[in-house]
Amino acid sequence: MATLRQFLNDKSNKSEIDQYFEEQAEFYVRKRELERIDNFNGYFDFLNNEFPCPVYYDGLMYKGVSYAYQAARCTEQYLREKIAKADTIMEMYEIAAKIEDPPDWQKNRLKVMEMLIRDKFRRNAELREKLRATETRELVNTYRDPTVSNLFWGVVDKKGQNQLGRILELVRNDIHHDIELQKWLFMNFNLEDDHNLIPVITLEVYKGDSKIEVIKLKDKNHYSFGKLTGSDVLMTHQSISRRHGLIIVDSKFGVCLMDLGSKCGTFLDNKKIDICFPYRLNNGNVIVFGASTRRYVVNIDYSAVEKYLAQKAKIIAKEIKLYEAAKDDPNADIESVKAALGLIARDTIFVGGLPENPSQKEVEEFFSQFGKIKEIRIPIDRQTGRNKTIAFITYADEKDCKKALENDRIRFKDRRLTIKIAEKKNSDQIIEEKLHGGDRDSYKDKLKKNEDKARKDIDKRYNRRRRSRTRSRSHSKEHRSGRKKNEKRRSKERRKRSMSSESSSASSSRSRSRSRSKSREKTKQKEKRDKDSKRKDKSESPVKIEKDKESRKEKERRKKKSESPSESPAKTKKKEESSSSSESDSESGSESESRASTPRR
């Protein structure tokens, strides 16, 4: 008895269709293996982390991704500076061997690697175009030694996670969809989330000695400059690139200027700045973009930010006193202590389940039906730069807040909203985050947990876009097939029209010939009628003709008499007799003619 595997492997038991599909599957697998890039050497050495190229991380420039990755493992600044100044890779690895991994390094290493690879290809246009040219080929990072790190970042003997190849494919996908710049900006820099902490930036534009205009930049954590229509400051000079430069508001370094790899560069105080490196701006700095003669003088106004921080400091000082008093009282209720500290906001509600990227005006118009709104705050997503789907709404009166709470699960743009009382952070976090200069180290752990979730959400969104594009392509194919059918139908209609026009032209020519023949017959009939009428007239009036002749003769006689009065009567008588005889002859001839001319009845 043959086993099942032997039966399946026996080609005599398979049909031609099964053999065809198996051959096609083998061909596809073989083709995919041949197209796979599994060696990051030679032409594809730019995919290797040890490829020499400038990379920026946390305020320092490094000579490659491997340098910056090892520097990210250490927390001491002097070690990072040593790694940045290392001349060779071996020297860098000697320094890195003494560094111990931080406690959360296993969780954060994927995010750090993605940040560094994004910065590598953002900073180098040639490498970015090379990565784009790989199109859809599979990228596999292969190693020889089966170490733990090699199996994590690559593949050894067809075993491993290949995390480096996956990150490279993710960056390549973003380059194809033209979203790589936005992701690099929101991942590699700490853009300010709170609108109250963003200063007002004014740019005074000068051309020569004359002031042309004043540009105000506010309520955003980054502003773009260039020829692109979606830029915040649109420029039309020939030396300006489509995406020329950026001004960002970083929570750690403040207001900074960056050049995005423009052709003619960006100048700060008559010095050309490096590509994709943040330069801090101060009042009075002069910016020149490309070869343009316009000068932009910077003025940063922090007055509104200072007022906001002063108010927050007063509130926090009161909370500290109340917190200390509540600690000493062992019988204090937790809710009463929270209310006293202001941790439970009785006039503020939390709204969840809003649609994607909600605008502040729409939310304000909808919730103003419950009462007068004092303040609305919609947090910004650090990964995408868009508004989150939650909001904090503060009412002027607590009664209005209660009305809004009664309308829980209300519909807003076909979505059910969750409305609750907003709770603040505990006083210890407030003291650490606000009083001590807003240091980000105290709540970095929470951000790191949420960033991974946010990145997954972004990937899902972009995958949806990709699916929608594939659907649109299929729809375009259906549209093309529909167009072909419509063209065939129209061509048939044209043929029918041409045939009908030919038949109509033939019928029209026939009708014309018929009308002409009819008109000819009518003219002939008219001519016949006219001839008959003339004949009748001639046959009916012989008497009239004779009378006319007699009247004419009498007139002639009278004329002759008047002309010759001297003639003798005898002669006149002879003439009259001769004339009468001639008249009788003429009358007899005329009678014979009339008889001959009259038709027989």
Concatenate the DSSP letters of all residues of 163-189 into one string: HHHHHHHHHHHHHHTT-HHHHHHHHHS
Question: Angle at CA 219, nearest 5°, toward 214 and 220?
Answer: 95
Q: What is the pLDDT of residues 337-387, one digit of tens each?
A: 555 555 555 678 889 888 888 888 888 889 989 888 988 888 887 667 778
- Are 243 and 260 contacting, i.e. CB atoms less than 8 angstroms apart? yes
Of 104-118, 125-139, 220-234, 413-427, give the lowest mean pLDDT range: 413-427
State CA 204 to chain mean position distance.
32
Question: What is the enclosing helix (H) or strand (E) of 306?
Answer: helix 303-328
DSSP 8-state code for residue 393: E
Can you tell me the distance from the alpha carbon of 58 to that of 188, in angstroms, rounded to the nearest whole number? 8
Can you tell me the distance from the alpha carbon of 311 to that of 332, in angstroms, rounded to the nearest whole number? 28
The 3-state secondary structure of 430-465 reads HHHHHHCCCCHHHHHHHHHHHHHHHHHHHHHHHHHH
Closest listed residue to residue 382, CA positions, set 461, 446, 447, 459? 447
Beta pairing class for 279-280 and 271-272: unpaired
What is residue 464's predicted lDDT score, i.e. its pLDDT? 64
- Are 185 and 191 contacting, i.e. CB atoms less than 8 angstroms apart? yes
- Are 442 and 430 contacting, i.e. CB atoms less than 8 angstroms apart? no
pLDDT exceeds cutoff 90 at 223: yes
Q: Phi/psi at 346 (nearest 5 deg)?
A: -75, -20
What is residue 454's predicted lDDT score, i.e. its pLDDT? 64
Sign of CA dihedral 590, 592, 595, 597: negative
- Are 55 and 71 contacting, i.e. CB atoms less than 8 angstroms apart? no
Concatenate the DSSP letters of all residues of 326-378 into one string: HHH-TT--HHHHHHHHT-EEEEEEEEE-PPSS--HHHHHHHHTTSS-EEEEE-
pLDDT exceeds cutoff 50 at 531: yes
- Are 72 and 58 contacting, i.e. CB atoms less than 8 angstroms apart? yes
Q: What is the pLDDT of residues 563-589, one digit of tens each?
A: 654 444 444 444 445 544 444 444 444
What is residue 388's predicted lDDT score, i.e. its pLDDT? 85
Can you tell me the distance from the alpha carbon of 298 to that of 216, in angstroms, rounded to the nearest whole number? 10
Beta pairing class for 60-62 and 344-352: unpaired
| Section 521-538 average pLDDT | 72
What is residue 153's predicted lDDT score, i.e. its pLDDT? 92
Can you tell me the distance from the alpha carbon of 408 to that of 420, in angstroms, rounded to the nearest whole number? 8
All residues at 6 or more sequence positions from 234 whose CB lies less than 8 Å from its CB, including other chains: 226, 227, 228
Strands of 233-234's sheet, edge to edge?
Answer: 233-234, 222-226, 245-250, 254-259, 279-280
pLDDT exceeds cutoff 70 at 439: no
State CA 414 to chain mean position distance.
25
Q: Which residue has the higher pLDDT, 319 or 222?
A: 222
Q: What is the pLDDT of residues 551-566, one digit of tens each?
A: 777 878 877 777 654 4
| Section 1-23 average pLDDT | 62
Q: Phi/psi at 257 (nearest 5 deg)?
A: -110, 140
Q: What percent of the chain has pLDDT over 90?
A: 31
Q: What percent of the chain has pLDDT over 70?
A: 71
What is residue 442's predicted lDDT score, i.e. its pLDDT? 47
Can you tell me the distance from the alpha carbon of 444 to that of 329, in angstroms, rounded to the nearest whole number? 33
pLDDT exceeds cutoff 80 at 431: no
Of 78-82, 110-114, 514-518, give the lowest mean pLDDT range: 514-518
pLDDT exceeds cutoff 50 at 437: no
Can you tell me the distance from the alpha carbon of 17 to that of 544, in angstroms, rounded to the nearest whole number? 116
| Section 286-291 average pLDDT | 94
Can you tell me the distance from the alpha carbon of 367 to that of 382, in angstroms, rounded to the nearest whole number? 26
Q: What is the pLDDT of residues 127-164, one digit of tens each?
A: 999 999 998 888 999 998 889 989 999 999 889 999 99
What is residue 438's predicted lDDT score, i.e. its pLDDT? 44
- Are 123 and 276 contacting, i.e. CB atoms less than 8 angstroms apart? yes
Can you tell me the distance from the alpha carbon of 153 to that of 440, in angstroms, rounded to the nearest whole number? 30
| C-alpha dist (Å) from residue 447 to 190, 296, 415, 507 | 11, 36, 27, 87
Q: Identify the burial level of 150 via C-beta atoms within 10 angstroms of its C-beta, where 0-12 means exposed, 13-18 middle and 19 or more buried.
A: middle
Question: What is the enclosing helix (H) or strand (E) of 225?
Answer: strand 222-226
| C-alpha dist (Å) from residue 470 to 133, 440, 466, 473, 474 | 21, 42, 6, 5, 6
- Are 226 and 241 contacting, i.e. CB atoms less than 8 angstroms apart? yes
Q: Which residue has the higher pLDDT, 23 or 542?
A: 23
- Are 171 and 195 contacting, i.e. CB atoms less than 8 angstroms apart? no
Please tell me the chain's helix, strand, coil percentages from 3-state DSSP, rounded to the nearest 5.
55, 15, 30
Can you tell me the distance from the alpha carbon of 342 to that of 357, in angstroms, rounded to the nearest whole number? 29
Q: Which residue has the higher pLDDT, 406 or 259?
A: 259
Q: Which residue has the higher pLDDT, 297 or 28?
A: 297
| C-alpha dist (Å) from residue 53 to 46, 64, 66 | 9, 5, 10
Q: What is the pLDDT of residues 476-529, one digit of tens each?
A: 556 666 777 778 788 878 777 777 766 666 666 667 777 777 777 878 787 877
Task: End-to-end CA distance of the chain: give it in Å, rounded.
Answer: 131
| Section 109-134 average pLDDT | 92
Q: Which residue has the higher pLDDT, 548 or 256?
A: 256
- Are 300 and 282 contacting, i.e. CB atoms less than 8 angstroms apart? yes
Closest listed residue to residue 175, CA positions, set 118, 254, 214, 230? 118
Q: What is the pTM of this model?
A: 0.53
| Section 52-63 average pLDDT | 91
What is residue 557's predicted lDDT score, i.e. its pLDDT? 80
pLDDT exceeds cutoff 90 at 118: yes
Q: Phi/psi at 289 (nearest 5 deg)?
A: -105, 120
Of 11-15, 171-175, 411-415, give the lowest mean pLDDT range: 11-15
